[in-house]
Amino acid sequence: DAGVTQSPTHLIKTRGQQVTLRCSPKSGHDTVSWYQQALGQGPQFIFQYYEEEERQRGNFPDRFSGHQFPNYSSELNVNALLLGDSALYLCASRSTVSTEAFFGQGTRLTVV
């Protein structure tokens, strides 16, 4: 079991561009959450996907959107990138019958 995997691991984008980050959940997990972790801060909840629908959303603008596929993998899209979007983006998966969340290694996004 590869656990939660994310791609890419690092990414550099220019302000105003769009980016797509990808996450494959741990085997047997059907729920995927995305978090933004700025340097020196705790992870901040962006949104969660279950059954291909956004089930809950944190305090992030509409520039942040996502998708979940039938195989439970997920994408995070960020439009009109700002310098402040530079952060480590973490994906966490779990089963709906469990509370334990497993994190991927993250994608470090740098906006220049």
Partner 1 sequence: GENVEQHPSTLSVQEGDSAVIKCTYSDSASNYFPWYKQELGKRPQLIIDIRSNVGEKKDQRIAVTLNKTAKHFSLHITETQPEDSAVYFCAAYYQTGANNLFFGTGTRLTVIP
Part in contact with partner 1 (CB under 8 A); list of ranges 12-20, 27-35, 61-69, 71-79 = 27-35
Number of DSSP helices (H) and strands (E) in the chain, helices first = 0, 11
Cα 70 → chain centroid: 17
Total binding residues toward partner 1, as defined by CB under 8 A: 25
Cβ at position 18, least distance to partner 1 in Å: 25
64: tokens are 């942040």
47: tokens are 């949104």
| Touching partner 1, residues 28-87 (CB under 8 A) | 31, 33, 35, 40-45, 48, 50, 55-56, 58-59
